[in-house]
Amino acid sequence: MKKLSIIFIAIILFTLTACSANKNKLYDITREITAYDSVIILPEKENYSSEDTVIRYTITNISDEDAWINDDDACFELHKLVDGKWKLVGTKVDHSWTEAALLLPPKESETREIKLEDYYLPLEEGIYRIVVGNIVSNTFKVS
C-alpha cells in the first residue's frame, strides 16, 4: 500500500510539473516574408520580462511617399527564433487578417500594442520579432 501511495504521489507531482510548464505553441512559417524598406517597426524596448503583459511597438514610414499598412491592431505575427529559424508563436485567440489599410504619410508614426494575454503565457525566454504584412521589426529579447 505504501508503494502504491508513493507512485500515486509521484504521478501527481509529475502532472503538476507538466501543467505548470510553458505551453507556448510554435509553428513553421509557411509564407515568404519579403523586405519592405519604406516602413520600419521598432519595439518599445529591447528587453522584456516574461512577466510583461504588453509589448508596444511603433510603425514609422521613413520614406518620402505615402505607405499603406494594415489598419487593424490585431493584424500582426509574433515570431520566435529557434535554432536559427523563425517560428510563429501561436495564440489562444484568432487574429483574423483584414483587408482594411491605413495610409501612413511620409515620416509619420503610429504606436500599437500586443496584448500578451492572447498568448500561452509566459512567453519563453528568447529572441522575438513582430511582423505586420511584410514589415519586420527589430528583434527583442524576452528573459
User: In the prediction, which pLDDT does 137 show?
Assistant: 94
User: In the prediction, which pLDDT does 10 show?
Assistant: 40
Domains, the chain, ranges and CATH? 25-142 (2.60.40)
User: In the prediction, which pLDDT does 72 show?
Assistant: 63
Low-confidence ranges of the chain (pLDDT < 70): 1-24, 71-74, 93-100, 121
**How distant is the alpha carbon of residue 106 from its chain centre?**
27
pTM of the model: 0.76
User: In the prediction, which pLDDT does 99 show?
Assistant: 56
